[in-house]
């Protein structure tokens, strides 16, 4: 995880720097299309794959590919506050749902911390932003509770379809 988190943090800083030169709206539709394709892959193609080939155990070290996808996720997080698509696709091809979920939880916690620090240093976080974010915490906690209850009751195919549909819905919101 250390390598993934370091690459993501570096990517986040790069994304925030890019954001000061290129308007994020320029990339929003492209991001939406990429997330839509990712959602289709999860909902359709991942479900057709043999889940037996997906790993349960984490490897001992990160590969260069792992670091590249983590860095790309960081750049997207810095640009849009959305770091998921590259790392979701990369890890979703490798790991069964339990390991995949565990990795993403740790990755996204550190991604959020890196964004908060980077956005604060760039002067993009103020009191109103913090209060707005704090107002969402009850909904976040309810969602986590319900999501965890559902997670332990579904199989790999239903998990893939659910993730795919959620990504497609999110992509449509981005494009619209």
Predicted confidence band at 69 (pLDDT cuts at 50, 70, 90)? confident
Q: Which residue in 2, 11, 3 sits closest to 64, CA to CA?
A: 3
Q: What gap in Å lies between CA 175 and CA 34, rounded to an integer?
A: 10
In a domain, 137, yes or no: no
**Three-state SS at 20:** coil
Question: 108: which residues sit within 8 A by CB, 6+ positions away?
Answer: 83, 84
In a domain, 132, yes or no: no
**Integer Rg of the chain from CA:** 16
Total structural domains within the chain: 1
Q: Which domain holds residue 59?
A: 2-122+156-175
pLDDT at res. 80: 75
In a domain, 53, yes or no: yes
Per-residue pLDDT of 115-134, as tens digits, reads 888 888 888 888 888 899 89
In a domain, 71, yes or no: yes
Per-residue pLDDT of 85-116, as tens digits, reads 888 888 888 888 888 888 888 888 888 888 88
In a domain, 44, yes or no: yes
Q: What gap in Å lies between CA 14 and CA 18, rounded to an integer?
A: 6
């Amino acid at each position: 995880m250390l390598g993934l988190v370091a690459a993501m943090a570096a990517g986040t800083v790069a994304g925030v720097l890019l954001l000061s030169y290129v308007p994020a709206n320029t990339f929003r539709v492209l991001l939406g299309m990429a997330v839509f394709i990712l959602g289709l892959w999860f909902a359709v193609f991942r479900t057709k794959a043999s889940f037996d080939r997906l790993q349960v155990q984490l490897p001992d070290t990160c590969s260069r590919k792992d670091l590249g996808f983590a860095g790309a996720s960081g750049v997207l997080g810095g640009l849009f506050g959305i770091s998921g698509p590259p790392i979701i696709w990369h890890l979703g091809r490798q790991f069964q749902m339990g390991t995949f979920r565990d990795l993403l939880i740790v990755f996204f916690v550190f991604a959020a911390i890196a964004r908060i620090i980077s956005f604060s240093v760039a002067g993009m976080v103020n009191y109103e932003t913090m209060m707005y974010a704090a107002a969402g915490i009850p909904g976040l906690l309810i969602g986590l509770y319900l999501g965890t209850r559902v997670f332990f009751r579904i199989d790999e195919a239903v998990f893939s379809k659910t993730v795919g549909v959620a990504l497609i819905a999110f992509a449509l919101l981005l494009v619209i």
